[in-house]
Structure 1
Amino acid sequence: MAQISRRDVAEMIDHTLLSPDATPADVAALVDEARQLGVYAICVSPSMLPVRAPGLVVATVAGFPSGKHHSLVKGAEARLAVEQGAAEVDMVIDVGAARAGDYNAVLADIIAVREAVGDRAVLKVIIESAALTDEAIVEVCRAAERAGADFVKTSTGFHPAGGASAHAVKLMADTVGGRLGVKASGGIRSAAQAAELITAGATRLGLSRSREVLEGFPS
């Protein structure tokens, strides 16, 4: 951890609030805390948009958290979010299609969202890595790259199989080879975990406990 500064980590963080019972006051508090911490972005549910957050990137989600939405619905949700000010969209794939080995369906799903937002937003693809085999992780990452995604992302944080792991992050990073970013999210609660994931190849972190994590890094 000594090689990674608090500021470096802060600039990788999407400070996240995706709780289904979040209120506008909670989002306002998230924005205030994000400014205090110096993080890169905030990530909120699409129903909370638009959000006034000068100086911060605003991210949201599509098809969240199950991914079991029709691709056209995901696309419409993403398009509306961008029209309401989101600069980044984290979409959830159909994890069942990936588990079944139907990578063409995964590809088509991602393409639908990519085409819906065009080049107006950064597109991150949530693959639920804890629910997939290594082979499926690799194939889904390849599909995301072919579809024009900007990032692959480990987890929603809501799947019972778990969240981010260093093993999955390394596999994802090795597959995309620096051509896409790699976002680690889900269950990251300490600086030690964050450092392990960054060392494995994460270029962005999705955190709801950003302050807690950052306090473990040297200033």
Structure 2
Amino acid sequence: MTAADQEARARDVLGVSRLTDTALTSWLHGLPGVDQVGCEARAAALGTRSIKTTSKAWAIDLAISMIDLTTLEGADTPGKVRGLCTKALSPLPSDPSTPRPAAVCVYGDMVATARATLGASDVKVAAVATAFPSGRASLPVKLADTRYAVEAGADEIDMVIDRGAFLSGDHVTVFEQIVAVKEACGDARLKVILETGELVTYDNVRRASWLAMLAGADFIKTSTGKVAPAATLPVTVVMLEAVRDWLALTGRMVGVKPAGGIRTSKDAIKFLVAVNEVAGEAWLSDEWFRFGASSLLNDLLLQRQRMSTGAYSGADYIPDDSPSLY
């Protein structure tokens, strides 16, 4: 879809003939407000649900299949990325039935290395772009960043919004940048990072979610993982409500990706319960829900081994992602 087509679709949703900042802001501020107390109470209640035996085993495998296995450090090397990709291809060599993560997420300059290592496997290559994590760059730079990653072989692009523009009420700039990046993605799917830890209120999270979907996001993502708080359950509940309501309004599904701070199987299962009960069973797929994580996979693998053997294994029994020597 071209930028012009996307803007036309947005005008249809808003019911206006011309997309102006006034019209966009008025529409976003007309969304129902979020009851902070109610949202946090609901998230807390969802977090107490108990899942056992076969249901827990199924949830652990599902969570593994939803991970975007991530390394986004300044010290990343080709060897580290190859090691991470190798782990994604074979998370637990002793048990070939172990699911693979959905994707490996890296900086744009590491996409070619990830693509070469993953080859034609079903593990996708995701790349952060648009001056991640700050988003402080001109639009031409953001578009060049995106095109570079796509040309190198990225299947998915994780972009960050201009939080300064959003918080100052310049919603049309945020909209136009997302539309332009979406067009630059070509066939790659676009995940739009809201950086919810900087948005301050749940109302802002809801508005930013709807703004991103209006501009053509395929996923809305909580965080870069570089700002605290990152992926909290209440924020994710607000975003799940947004994609559910967007589907009801437009007939179009959008995915959700909480990222940052989700490290244990117990935490992952809480999020899966929220997905099922807030958005619905249709989102219980790596096509529509992802975890942005690095250490989560190890804990899920340990829990999977425990359920299979009846005994806990040490971390030494889990493959690491140390830099490879080739």
Q: TM-score normalized by structure 2?
A: 0.63
Superposed CA RMSD in Å reads: 1.6
Q: Percent identity?
A: 39
Deviations 1:89-146 (A, max 9, x none): 000111122222322221112111011123x101000001122111111111111111
Corresponding residue number in structure 2 for 1:205:
291
8 A contact 2:262–2:296 mirrored in 1? no
1:135 partnered with 2:203: yes
8 A contact 1:67–1:94 mirrored in 2? yes
What code does the residue aligned with 1:216 have?
Q
Answer 1 or 2: which has greater helix percent: 2
Corresponding residue number in structure 2 for 1:74:
142
What is the rounded CA distance, in whole Å, between the counterparts of 2:158 and 2:168 in structure 1? 22
8 A contact 1:14–1:40 mirrored in 2? yes
Answer 1 or 2: which has greater strand percent: 1
Counterpart secondary structure, 1:69: coil
Corresponding residue number in structure 1 for 2:156:
88
- For residue 221 of structure 2, the aligned residue among 133, 147, 153 is 153
1:27 partnered with 2:27: no
What is the rounded CA distance, in whole Å, between the counterparts of 2:263 and 2:83 in structure 1? 19
- For residue 182 of structure 1, the aligned residue among 246, 256, 277 is 256
Counterpart secondary structure, 2:303: coil
8 A contact 1:165–1:197 mirrored in 2? no
What is the rounded CA distance, in whole Å, between the counterparts of 1:199 and 1:165 in structure 2? 14
Consecutive unaligned residues of structure 2, counting only runs of 5 or more, are 1-50, 92-99, 248-252, 276-282, 284-288, 309-326
Q: TM-score normalized by structure 1?
A: 0.93
8 A contact 1:106–1:140 mirrored in 2? no
Range moving further from structure 2, 69-78 or 81-90: 69-78
Aligned residues: 217
8 A contact 2:106–2:127 mirrored in 1? yes
User: How far 1:199 sits from its partner (Å)?
Assistant: 2.2
Counterpart secondary structure, 2:157: strand
What is the rounded CA distance, in whole Å, between the counterparts of 1:32 and 1:85 in structure 2? 17
8 A contact 1:194–1:213 mirrored in 2? no
What is the rounded CA distance, in whole Å, between the counterparts of 1:111 and 1:83 in structure 2? 19
Counterpart secondary structure, 1:66: coil
What is the rounded CA distance, in whole Å, between the counterparts of 1:187 and 1:92 in structure 2? 18
What is the rounded CA distance, in whole Å, between the counterparts of 1:153 and 1:168 in structure 2? 10
- For residue 72 of structure 2, the aligned residue among 18, 21, 25 is 18
Consecutive unaligned residues of structure 1, counting only runs of 5 or more, are none
- For residue 108 of structure 2, the aligned residue among 26, 29, 46 is 46
8 A contact 1:82–1:121 mirrored in 2? yes
Corresponding residue number in structure 1 for 2:303:
216
What is the rounded CA distance, in whole Å, between the counterparts of 1:200 and 1:128 in structure 2? 20
